[in-house]
Structure 1
């Protein structure tokens, strides 16, 4: 992913990290290591709902992966 910091998926991931508190906290919420979260350019499909739940809906599945979750779903 070129210039990933400006990509909407990466921005949503960063927002989730900020809401949850840290990469380590995100990792604990989804059952992976902090290093795994560090390597993500976006939230993998099988972790989207867990991340959304860990943010108490502050970051939606649509924000995290609009390619998989269209608006209103």
Structure 2
């Protein structure tokens, strides 16, 4: 799965590209660019995970960098 729908889900959770950008410490344009490219940097993946309180996880945004948490880790 590409990151495009996940970025859109994060935008929806936060309310707008600008709000997601502010929560991630980047501009609205950076969020728009990532959404259009359907890819995020490792740093932005971590920031989106934090901004969405884990609803959009870094491993879903960048499975090439992070594997899914083990069942006992996700329950904690």
1:45 aligns with 2:42: yes
Runs of at least 5 residues in structure 1 that lack an aligned partner in the other structure: 1-6
* Per-residue deviation, residues 4-38 of structure 1 (Å, max 9, x unmatched): xxx52111111111112110011101222111211
1:66 pairs, out of 30, 48, 63, with: 63
Q: Hey, what does 1:30 align to over in structure 2?
A: 24
1:12 aligns with 2:9: no
Q: TM-score, normalised by structure 1?
A: 0.78
Q: TM-score, normalised by structure 2?
A: 0.75
Q: Which has the larger radius of gyration?
A: 2
- Please tell me the root mean square deviation across aligned C-alpha atoms, in Å: 1.5
